[in-house]
Amino acid sequence: MKLNISDPKTAKTYSVEADEKTSLMLLGKKIKDEVELKDIAAGLKVVITGGSDKQGFPMSPSLDLDARKIVYLKKSVGFRPKRKGERRRKRVAGKIINENTQQVNLKIISGDPKVLDEKHSPKKKDDKK
């Protein structure tokens, strides 16, 4: 499972590959739940903001399931309408994290992200001229 941890203060995002222990801790959690990431960085508290499953379907915060479902959407996660009032049927994943969840998006709410900065710093592009 891949964790994308964002720091709203510095506007940086850290991509971390979760080990089995962290993945098992996240199973059954929902979007907007607060989680403490003891294994990745001590004292780091995050909130789950979204994610996607193995097939790439986004997690919808309005669907209280752990499976995928086809729902009728207006402007929301998984659908951006081109015209005013447009709605469409789309397949989205539920808001509960399960074993089919591939990526989880997290936002830091408390703690020191310097540990993440040292271990998992964002990749920088080299200036080649």
pLDDT of residue 41: 80
Gap between the Cα atoms of 106 and 8, Å rounded: 11
Nearest to 53 by CA among 98, 107, 7, 113: 98
Residues 4-26 have pLDDT tens digits of 999 998 888 989 898 899 999 99
What pTM value is reported for the model? 0.84
Take residue 124 and report the two structure tokens written for it. Answer: 């920088």
3-state secondary structure of 52: strand
Residues 91-124 have pLDDT tens digits of 999 999 999 999 999 999 988 877 777 776 655 5
Determine how many CB atoms are found less than 10 A away from the CB of residue 46: 25
Q: At 105, which amino acid appears?
A: N
Q: Are 71 and 63 in contact (CB under 8 A)?
A: yes
